[in-house]
Amino acid sequence: MKIAPAQSFRIVEGGSEAATLVTGEGNMPGTTNAGCFVAIVHQGKASLTPTIGYGDYEAETCSGPASVGVLSSGSPVRFGVVFDASSPNAQVREPVVVSWNRGDNTLLIDDALSVKASQAGALTIAAMRQLAR
């Protein structure tokens, strides 16, 4: 695993650190393509969610996160991540929306918003934020 420090950040609430969002790339057992992930560290516990190179995105190889940001701060908190990815025939940028449930520290891909962002060509955090409203 390789963390992308430029695309990871602390989440501050009320002047104190609430959590840390971490993005990066690496290989996980049982996969063939290089993959990426998003993780949240909250109250000393980490929750990691594989993204590009896994599950619905298994046909793509991940080259790393290009940008990350908060889309909404309600409940759940939503983050947008744009990954550099490739398939055998193309280089692409792939938007992924993840939802963080602060109560049980789960971090899951929001499939509906991720598909919506991809179909809309939302390749910036600002464009993804507009769709998440």
pTM of the entire predicted model: 0.89
Domain count, the chain: 1
H or E element at residue 45:
strand 45-50
User: CB–CB of 85/60 below 8 Å?
Assistant: yes
Question: Residue 96 corresponds to which tokens in the numbers above?
Answer: 């992924």
Residue-number span of the structural domain to which 124 is assigned:
2-131
Chunked mean pLDDT (size 10), the chain, 133 residues: 78 86 82 83 90 86 92 90 90 94 92 95 95 84
Q: What pLDDT score does 3 carry?
A: 78
Q: What pLDDT score does 32 carry?
A: 67
Q: What pLDDT score does 60 carry?
A: 87
Return the SS3 of 125: helix
